[in-house]
Structure 1
Amino acid sequence: MDQPAVEVFHYKDKEQSSNLLLQLNRLRQENVLTDVFLCSDNTEIPCHRNVLVSSSPYFRAMFCNNFIERQQTKIDLKGVTSTILSSIIDYVYTGLISISMEIVLPLMQAASMLQFGRIFEACSHFLQEQLSPDNCLSMIRLSEILHCNSLRAKAKEMAMKSFSDVSASEDLCELSLPELMGYLEDDSLCAEEEQVFETLVAWIHHDPLSRRGTIGDLFKKVRLRYIHPTFLFQFIANDPLIQSSTLCTELIDSVRRLMFSVSTKCIGDTAADFKPLWVAPRRYTYNDMLVVLGGRKNNEQTSREALLFDEKRQKWQWLAKLPIRLYKASYVCLHSVLYVLGGLATSTNRVNRTVYTLSLKTNQWRTAEPMLEPRFAHQSVSYLHFIFVLGGLGPDRRVCGSVERYNSMFNQWESMAPMPEAVLHPAVAATDQRIYMFGGEDAMQNPVRIIQVYHIARNLWSKMENRTVKNVSAPAAVLDNKIYIIGGYTRRMIAYDTKANRFIKCANLKERRMHHSATVLNNKLYITGGRYVNGHDVIEDSDSFESYDPKTDTWTSKGTLPYKLFDHGSLTLTCVSQNMGKI
């Protein structure tokens, strides 16, 4: 068949535009058909008006309207050096320009004046590449002078993300009060609240005569709820600046009453102007991380490993190893510090009362105030500034019902009322001023169908029988005002509504599960490791890593742990994002 004739052929010469610019530049260099001279510092640069008009709104206005320059053959550009002007004209004819620290500022000023927007943004990009914690505040000042929003945004972002380093710079002390307040009240500030306090104190001490009176307004920007009580009551409360302010001392007294009372009534008694400060959210840069530590690894000896899971990156990181191997220690988190309490030291076969702590700031294990009694196979739970240790086995290997409490404000342990019934391996959780202990087993390894409840403020226990409870070696976790009891030689998961005193059935686990661990991360339950009963009724170790979403009542696999693990700790640790790079 004959091909139909092409009526129109659209040809595009891809080299035409670039060749045209090269030819125009050659004509300029040879001073051919140029019709205007741009003058600066006794230097005259020949140009073509139509090229200048096409490159900049500034020259379009100059040569296309009834300005005097339209009739002139020589235009004197004041405020632009000949070097900068030559660079800009070269750019107009070639699209190329070299930017360095020596010329970037006058080049930006000239580009702004002559309305070369792309040169201006190229300079901004160059300065953004030079940003560091040492100069970002200066860059913000510069961006405001130059009206450069892109540079200001990038410099502000660095100041927020690297605030720990920025706060040590001299530039920070030169900030005005509104500027400093803007940083301290910003939810995205990447700093611990202790650092926020130290920063405002340093700023005031830089000019104490004129700034001393600002302490009250600045102190309100510190989110006291997220400060370690020891730092707050021993360091901040004794600072001369704080003691000189009635408002500051009243705020600290309000926090002290809230923490000491361990009752909800105190919040109602707190001054109305303090309540908004107490309920202020934590900053966005505080991240919740899942930590897995200790336990029996690959069914071999007790593990010293400590792992950190970053949910955003979906990766495991290794933390510093536990100092010794501990069999059936307990694990808890308080004030962004990990606590490992008691346990049987496998090297000596001795039950100990040692307490080890780990902070992500240092990634080093330290010993803390030891417990009153040595114990292992016990339970621990944190509430407000307390750690409660319940039951377990003592040096005589007998089940004990004793309870002790660690007060982080005073760094001391004290004995509390013992459990009504001593049990091993119950599910334990704390919420709404109470500790709930579900099930477990007695000294003869028989399941116990009771709920034991401890009222924290009253130091009183109560117990009630409940046929729904039949769990052994199952973890419990609090989410959305419900206590979830996960498995325990069963596939069943139930949620206990403490207000209604009733159980709600949830989606089952895939296998009968025990000796696993659970924690809450970003409004979901995370279940790690444990042991399970396979299809042949054989108990096997697990490396499973799953999450449960209460909104959809569904389980999702999150992959696997780096190894099989049971009788371990699984905790949620809050930390500031910037610290993660140091691990």
Structure 2
Amino acid sequence: MEFNTKHRKLSKTKNSVRTPASTKPRLTKKRIVTRKRKCVCFPENYSVVEFPSIWNELRQNGQLCDGTIVCRDMKSIRIHRAILSAVSPYFKAIFINSLKKGQPEETEIFVDVPSYYMSLILDYAYTGTCTVTAENVEYLLPYADQFDIVGVIQSCCQFLLQELRPHNCLGIFKFAKYYFCGELEKRGKLYIRQNFSRILKECNEFKSLSYDELEDILRDDELNVRNEEIVFQAVKTWVEHDIETRRKYIPSLLSCVRFGHISYKYFKSKILQWQPVVEDEKCQEALYPAVVFLTVLDSRPGTEADLNDPLARPRIPYEILFAVGGWSAGSPTSFVETYDTRADRWFLSIHMDLTPRAYHGLCTLNNLIYMIGGFDGSDHFNTVRCYDPVANTWHERACMYQARCYVSVVAHGGLIYALGGYNGRTRMSSVERYYPDKNQWEMTTAMNKQRSDASAASLSGKIYIVGGFNGQEVLSSAEVFDPDTKQWSFIRSMISPRSGVSLIAYRDCLYALGGFNGYSRLNTGESFNPQRGGEWQEVTEMFSARSNFATVLLDDMIFVIGGFNGSTTISHVECYDGDTLEWYDAAPMNLNRSALSACVLAGLPNARSFSYLAKAVPAAGADQAHHS
């Protein structure tokens, strides 16, 4: 679905509905220009009306009709003027001749609209619904806008919102802006920010953006880009599409790139050597502060960039990592740390209403964090707590049937599964699942093996669990659960037995990382593709051996966080890039801890409050420095 507003400028004119002869009524331009409608894109702004079935019955039978609409293709449609007037102030004004007081009411009007589209509008007028498709929405919305039919506008906007994709979102955004669909425009802009990297690759309309539109996107603090090289690539792609016309914008667009987050090597080879920069002194002048900044930084290995410098101002992360609880300094903790991946910084917050615990499970569902089971040094918990990061509040939820520490937790199909664990007496094979809408747990099929300190993940409609400890031995076995049949079955065992392991689904594969094999902590990992079967395959080793650590997906990389290395708890964090098959260091947590859990929430409306900009820069608002 492609959108082009330029070629239809005429259809925007509100007085384009005309009668063929001068004797037929016309609305004056004044009525149209002064009409200022607030955005009605979505239902919260509009009350839904019940449409009696008798209306459509009369229409289909051609009974009691008292008006006629003649369409562009000269097809006449018999209608009931009162029904059409009820959904359209526009038609009401024409039919009752409101601008010509004392004149007889009109019974026949001409509309410069094809009968196909007029029939869709009449479908809505008589039934309250009409069929919106990818093929008709681009014309149906302007016609509905022209006739002031709010319900059809809403239907079109709802449809377009569901159709937002990287290849069409720029067109939909411009379309919404042009027809004053404010809410759709707002959500379209949000989608563009959040999916910018894919848009750059997949959207043909990117190169047709105006300079102002591109600059607005690239300067946005909330632009979701894994690195600033992507921003430079966007500038380069846009400029080179029409180099002669757009050359003059390069200095200004280069200032949208936050060079403090670009490597000196890339800057030197790709940016300073870009031909338009080589040829233009103004471009070189624009880059001079970045040259100085990056040269100084490069000359001092190990030095971190000053994030308060405008050149290194981090963007607000789209995804926020939460690391909760764990074992630190000989006791369980209630501390929560959040990680800003754009600034590569951790922030520690104390949650006073959270009891200390370790060896618990953690998962996200509907932008809430669920903390399940665990251990506080003396008690094994069956309790469940739920954190709302927008309200910054914890709430109790229904308890599980069984206490579980060393529990494996996974969200799947809108439910939360708690698998195995230790209740203080025995290692368990039992499984229960939580229905958030009902706030209830139910027991489901037990696993084939007793497992505590195992790890579970959801992939392609199924739940997998690997490793763990059964009370006698560390396990290498793995199982899969089919929620449709409620059956567990074994899959290929891992290469190494692993307890305190982390399992994560990444790019259609399962990755089992680290853990304890009964003798030592491991820095090894292995992957398994359920679609291909076969054996588990070794993956690149981590820098640090670790067990009982946390693992998440962030920026399309696997992050491993904290854990126990065999002699001490650690704060080390590293990330695995599936493109390079290598591990990279990330900033360590503020606390050394193991037996913690972590999760990632994306698209939080208050993401800024968890970011470096809110927490470390006084200018960003001291009142936001500590959200907890």
TM-score by length of 2: 0.48
Structure 1 segment 124-163 matched on structure 2, within 5 A:
none
Distance 1:455 1:286, change over 3 A: farther
Write the distance in 2 (CA, Å) between the matches of 1:374 and 1:174: 60
Counterpart contact for 2:360–2:406, Cα < 8 Å: yes
The one-letter amino acid paired with 1:218 is: C
> Deviation at 1:326?
1.8
Unaligned ranges ≥5, structure 2: 1-34, 50-85, 89-148, 165-222, 225-315, 516-520, 610-623
* CA RMSD in angstroms, aligned pairs only: 2.8
**Residue equivalent to 1:550:** 578
**Residue equivalent to 2:338:** 308
Structure 1 segment 500-511 matched on structure 2, within 5 A:
500-501=532-533, 502-511=535-544
Write the distance in 1 (CA, Å) between the matches of 2:496 and 2:481: 17
Structure 2 residue 365 is matched with structure 1 residue 334: yes
Write the distance in 2 (CA, Å) between the matches of 1:385 and 1:175: 39
- CA distances 1:147-187 after superposition (whole Å, capped 9, x unpaired): xxxxxxxxxxxxxxxxxxxxxxxxxx95466xx65xxxxxx
**Runs of 4+ displaced beyond 4 Å:** 173-177, 203-210, 221-225, 283-286
**Residue equivalent to 1:491:** 523
**Residue equivalent to 1:419:** 447
> Deviation at 1:318?
3.6
Write the distance in 2 (CA, Å) between the matches of 1:490 and 1:579: 35
**Residue equivalent to 1:119:** none
Distance 1:286 1:204, change over 3 A: farther
Write the distance in 2 (CA, Å) between the matches of 1:204 and 1:221: 20
Write the distance in 2 (CA, Å) between the matches of 1:438 and 1:314: 31
> Deviation at 1:423?
1.6
> Deviation at 1:420?
0.6
Counterpart contact for 2:390–2:605, Cα < 8 Å: no
**Residue equivalent to 1:317:** 347
Structure 2 residue 607 is matched with structure 1 residue 576: no
> Deviation at 1:345?
4.1
Write the distance in 2 (CA, Å) between the matches of 1:351 and 1:540: 23
Counterpart contact for 2:450–2:470, Cα < 8 Å: yes
> Deviation at 1:371?
1.7
Counterpart contact for 1:286–1:576, Cα < 8 Å: no
- Equivalent position SS for 2:587: strand
Write the distance in 2 (CA, Å) between the matches of 1:220 and 1:513: 48
Write the distance in 2 (CA, Å) between the matches of 1:328 and 1:205: 50
**Residue equivalent to 1:476:** 503
The one-letter amino acid paired with 2:324 is: L
The one-letter amino acid paired with 2:335 is: E
Q: Which structure is larger by alpha-carbon Rg, 1 or 2?
A: 1
- Equivalent position SS for 1:351: coil
Which residue of the other structure, out of 415, 420, 423, is the alignment partner of 1:386? 415
Write the distance in 1 (CA, Å) between the matches of 2:330 and 2:340: 27
Q: Could you tell me the percent identity over the aligned residues?
A: 16
Counterpart contact for 1:531–1:540, Cα < 8 Å: yes
Write the distance in 2 (CA, Å) between the matches of 1:217 and 1:499: 39
**Residue equivalent to 1:289:** 320
Write the distance in 1 (CA, Å) between the matches of 2:592 and 2:481: 34
Structure 2 residue 159 is matched with structure 1 residue 220: yes
Distance 1:310 1:175, change over 3 A: farther
Structure 1 segment 352-363 matched on structure 2, within 5 A:
352-363=381-392
**Residue equivalent to 1:428:** 456
Counterpart contact for 2:501–2:547, Cα < 8 Å: yes
> Deviation at 1:367?
1.1
Counterpart contact for 1:450–1:469, Cα < 8 Å: no
Write the distance in 2 (CA, Å) between the matches of 1:340 and 1:208: 50
Write the distance in 2 (CA, Å) between the matches of 1:545 and 1:465: 29
> Deviation at 1:511?
3.5
Write the distance in 1 (CA, Å) between the matches of 2:513 and 2:373: 24
> Deviation at 1:493?
1.1
Write the distance in 2 (CA, Å) between the matches of 1:380 and 1:572: 14
The one-letter amino acid paired with 1:354 is: T
Distance 1:286 1:458, change over 3 A: farther
> Deviation at 1:309?
0.8
- Equivalent position SS for 1:218: helix
Aligned residues: 325
- CA distances 1:20-73 after superposition (whole Å, capped 9, x unpaired): xxxxxxxxxxxxxxxxxxxxxxxxxxxxxxxxxxxxxxxxxxxxxxxxxxxxxx
The one-letter amino acid paired with 2:539 is: C
The one-letter amino acid paired with 1:384 is: G
> Deviation at 1:461?
0.4
Distance 1:556 1:456, change over 3 A: same
Structure 2 residue 32 is matched with structure 1 residue 201: no
**Residue equivalent to 2:3:** none
**Residue equivalent to 1:529:** 562
Write the distance in 2 (CA, Å) between the matches of 1:308 and 1:295: 14
Unaligned ranges ≥5, structure 1: 1-172, 182-196, 226-282, 534-538
> Deviation at 1:579?
4.4
> Deviation at 1:205?
7.9
**Residue equivalent to 2:394:** 365
**Residue equivalent to 1:78:** none
Counterpart contact for 1:427–1:471, Cα < 8 Å: no
Counterpart contact for 1:545–1:558, Cα < 8 Å: yes
> Deviation at 1:523?
0.6
Write the distance in 2 (CA, Å) between the matches of 1:485 and 1:201: 46
**Residue equivalent to 1:439:** 467
Distance 1:339 1:217, change over 3 A: same
